[in-house]
């Protein structure tokens, strides 16, 4: 009987929807049910309804599985307030007007890097920066800055340490002015040094500093060799003219322009001589020239003309030898003659006037 009475009470309470009713227990006692609601709920005409004043701090606990959502919300306007929460999660609102209608970073110091994630830092339309945009050092102890600004048609990057523009672009002629410039070595270039030359970009687009001797077509070396000892060459005989040196070195493959000059003279009075001169490079004959010489019909003795020739040749990197062979076709020929004192008017320091010469100029490929 007791269980039945409880069930009836529950059923009645469900049907009457919180209406005030009087019921009789199994012992004949009368009980009046009058529900009391508060803390955000209201009893209206026997109904418990959502709405009313909170009587204590209240918390709705949500989880990732049991979330809280509102449907049917109306579209707001630009003048509506903005719903926010404080650090404790308490709901509050901020007037929309307090945002001033635009972003305002204010005067503050960032505490971490700004990650733009492929977005532009600035996208300004129909706006301008009124004053200099000042960029300071990451080292906060360095208070110097660069300023970016535009004034009277000129865009500038201002260096406050030097109190002048490091760079200026004039909008009227699109010319760029640099107070100073320094270009470092490209990926494949050498570190810049005094006398180096800036050449075309490498395959990565970097400018390249190169030592002058390494530039294609540039002179990489100049060598000169002089004849030394007097030599006499009988007819039908070939001999190498004595020189003070006969080798030169090329650090890379390239070309060599070789010039030789030899003055053959007759060894005996009234005996003309003639023959050929051979340029020898790395023990190989490269070119020949003809000579002839005779005695003078008057007071001058043993006349002759310098025989000169040139040869351009490609050579690999390494050390190479050069020399001149003198051949007499007729009579005994002499060269590397010292004119003093046999030739009238000569002096002691004219000793190189009649010696053989070889000049080598090397070029980079």
- pLDDT tens per residue across span 137-151: 889 899 999 999 888
- Confidence (pLDDT) at 12: 41
Residue bearing the bigger pLDDT, 85 or 201:
85
Q: What's the rounded mean pLDDT across residues 338-346?
A: 87
- pLDDT tens per residue across span 54-90: 888 888 888 989 988 889 888 888 788 888 888 888 8
For residue 82, CA distances in Å to 4, 60, 71, 104, 115 come to 54, 21, 18, 17, 26
Does pLDDT of 10 surpass 70? Answer: no
- Confidence (pLDDT) at 140: 86
Residue 338 to residue 303: CA distance in whole angstroms: 14
Residue 52 to residue 361: CA distance in whole angstroms: 105
- Confidence (pLDDT) at 122: 65
Does pLDDT of 18 surpass 60? Answer: no
| Mean of the per-residue pLDDT values of the chain | 82
Burial letters 232-262, b for 16+ CB under 10 A, else e: bbeeeeeeebbbeebebebeeebbbebebbb
Query: What is the architecture, at CATH level 2, of domain 218-364?
Result: Sandwich (2.60)
What residues does 294 pair with on adjacent strands? 303
- pLDDT tens per residue across span 254-267: 999 999 999 999 98
- Confidence (pLDDT) at 64: 87
Can you read off the two tokens belonging to residue 319?
Answer: 């050390």
Q: Provide the 3-class DSSP secondary structure of residue 348.
A: helix
What residues does 22 pair with on adjacent strands? 32
Burial letters 21-32, b for 16+ CB under 10 A, else e: eeeeeeeeeeee
Residue pair 323/317 in contact by the 8 Å Cβ criterion: no
- Confidence (pLDDT) at 334: 94
**Residue 338 binned pLDDT confidence (cut-offs 50, 70, 90):** very high
Nearest Cα residue to 333 out of 194, 237, 215: 237
Does pLDDT of 171 surpass 90? Answer: yes
Residue 279 to residue 229: CA distance in whole angstroms: 19
Does pLDDT of 111 surpass 70? Answer: yes
Would you list the domain boundaries of the chain? 132-178, 218-364
Residue 304 to residue 263: CA distance in whole angstroms: 7
Can you read off the two tokens belonging to residue 342?
Answer: 């046999």
Does pLDDT of 17 surpass 60? Answer: no
Dihedral sign from CA coordinates of 212, 213, 215, 216: positive
**Residue 290 binned pLDDT confidence (cut-offs 50, 70, 90):** very high
């Amino acid at each position: 009987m007791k269980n039945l009475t409880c069930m009836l009470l529950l059923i009645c309470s469900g049907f009457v929807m919180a209406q005030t009713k009087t019921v009789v227990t199994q012992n004949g006692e009368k009980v009046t049910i009058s529900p009391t609601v508060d803390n955000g709920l209201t009893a209206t005409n026997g109904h418990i309804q959502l709405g009313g004043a909170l009587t204590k701090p209240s918390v709705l606990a949500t989880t990732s599985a049991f979330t809280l959502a509102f449907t049917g919300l109306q579209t707001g306007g630009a003048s509506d307030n903005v719903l926010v929460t404080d650090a404790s999660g308490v709901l509050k609102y901020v007037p929309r007007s307090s945002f001033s209608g635009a972003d305002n970073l204010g005067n503050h110091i960032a505490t971490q890097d700004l990650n733009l994630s492929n977005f532009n830092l600035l996208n300004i339309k129909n706006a301008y920066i009124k004053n200099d945009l000042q960029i300071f050092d990451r080292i906060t102890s360095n208070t110097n800055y660069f300023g970016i600004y535009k004034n009277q048609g000129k865009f500038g990057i201002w260096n406050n340490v030097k109190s002048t523009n490091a760079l200026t672009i004039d909008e009227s002629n699109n010319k760029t002015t640099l107070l100073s410039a320094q270009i470092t070595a490209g990926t494949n270039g050498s570190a810049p040094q005094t006398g180096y030359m800036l050449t075309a970009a490498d395959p990565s687009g970097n400018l390249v500093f190169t030592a002058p001797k390494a530039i294609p077509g540039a002179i990489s070396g100049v060598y000169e060799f002089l004849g030394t000892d007097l030599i006499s060459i009988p007819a039908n005989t070939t001999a190498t003219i004595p020189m003070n040196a006969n080798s030169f070195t090329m650090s890379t493959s390239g070309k060599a322009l070789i010039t030789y000059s030899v003055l053959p003279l007759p060894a005996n009075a009234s005996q003309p001589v003639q023959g050929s001169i051979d340029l020898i490079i790395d023990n190989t004959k490269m070119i020949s020239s003809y000579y002839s010489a005779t005695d003078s019909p008057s007071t001058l003795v043993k006349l002759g003309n310098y025989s000169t020739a040139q040869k351009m040749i490609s050579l690999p990197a390494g050390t190479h030898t050069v020399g001149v062979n003198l051949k007499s076709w007729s009579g005994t020929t002499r060269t590397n003659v010292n004119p003093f004192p046999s030739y009238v008017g000569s002096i002691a320091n004219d000793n190189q006037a009649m010696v053989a010469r070889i000049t080598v100029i090397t070029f980079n490929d």
